């Protein structure tokens, strides 16, 4: 991503909490082919991290790999990626049903969520 010259120039990144990593491990037991995350945008599910079996969603030219969580890819539309500038996405788990067509976080009744840390001057390097 090009440096825009603004104060915020870091690229987006993603990390997962221990609860999210545990949920990913649970999912991988049932979905041997792997799982992948797609950052949602817009309408009723806005910032929800959508979790699918790998290959369910065809990864296209618009998809930018933000990083990997628990060994699983986390994608975002490149146009959205450009607006995320220095956001560190923190993947976590909360109670409640998953949004859209997303898999639950490990088991029914829990879903993945994102929190965000806006990184200033390398503060979010992991």
Partner 1 sequence: MQINKVYVPPGQPGSIVELKEKYGNFIGGRFVAPVKGQYMEDISPVTGKPFTKVAKSTPEDVELALDAAHAAKEKWGEILPLSERAKVLNKIADAIEANEEMLSVAESWENGKPVRETLNVDIPMAVDHFRYFAGAARMLEGTITEVDKDTLSYQIHEPLGVVGQIVPFNFPLMLASWKIAPALAAGNCTVVKPASPTPWSILKMMEIINDVVPPGVINVVTGPGAEIGKALATSPRIAKIAFTGETVTGRLIMQYAAQNIIPATLELGGKSPNIFFDDVLAKEDDFMRKAVEGFVLYAFNKGEVCTCPSRALVQESIYDRFMAKALDSIKKIKQGNPLDTNTMIGPQVSAQQIQKISSYVDIGKQEGAQLVVGGQRAKMEGDLAGGYFFQPTIFKGENNMRIFQEEIFGPVVAVTTFKDESDAIRIANDTLYGLGAGVWSRDGTRAYRVSRAIKAGRVWVNCYHSYPVGASFGGYKISGVGRETHRMALEHYTQTKSMLVSYSEKPMGFF
Residue closer to partner 1, measured from CB, 67 or 104: 104
Q: Which residues contact 4 (CB under 8 A, 6 or more apart)?
A: 85
Binding of residue 110 to partner 1 (CB under 8 A): no
62/57 Cα distance (integer angstroms): 12
66/76 Cα distance (integer angstroms): 7
Binding of residue 13 to partner 1 (CB under 8 A): no
Query: Minimum CB separation from partner 1 for residue 76, in Å?
Result: 10
Task: Give the Cβ contact number of residue 49 at 10 Å.
Answer: 26
At 99, list the tokens.
């949004």
For residues 58-77, which are near partner 1 according to CB under 8 A? 58, 77
Binding of residue 9 to partner 1 (CB under 8 A): no
For residues 20-39, which are near partner 1 according to CB under 8 A? 38-39
Site map for partner 1, 75-94, x if CB under 8 A? Answer: --x-xx--xxx-x------x
Residue closer to partner 1, measured from CB, 43 or 126: 43
- DSSP string over 53-85: ETTTSPP-TTEEEEEEETTEEEEEEHHHHHHST
Q: Which residues of this chain interact with partner 1, rule CB under 8 A?
A: 6, 38-48, 50, 52, 56-58, 77, 79-80, 83-85, 87, 94-104, 111, 113-118
């Amino acid at each position: 991503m090009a440096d825009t010259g603004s104060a915020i120039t870091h690229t987006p990144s993603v990390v997962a909490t221990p609860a999210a990593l545990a949920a990913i491990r649970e999912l991988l037991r049932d979905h041997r082919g792997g799982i992948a995350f797609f950052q949602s945008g817009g309408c009723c599910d806005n910032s929800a991290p959508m979790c699918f079996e790998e290959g369910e969603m065809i990864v296209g030219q618009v998809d930018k790999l933000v990083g990997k969580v628990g060994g699983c890819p986390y994608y975002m539309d490149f146009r959205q990626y450009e607006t995320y500038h220095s956001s560190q996405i923190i993947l976590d788990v909360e109670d409640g049903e998953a949004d859209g067509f997303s898999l639950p976080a490990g088991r029914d009744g829990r879903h993945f969520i994102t929190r965000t840390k806006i990184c200033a001057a390398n503060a979010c390097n992991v």
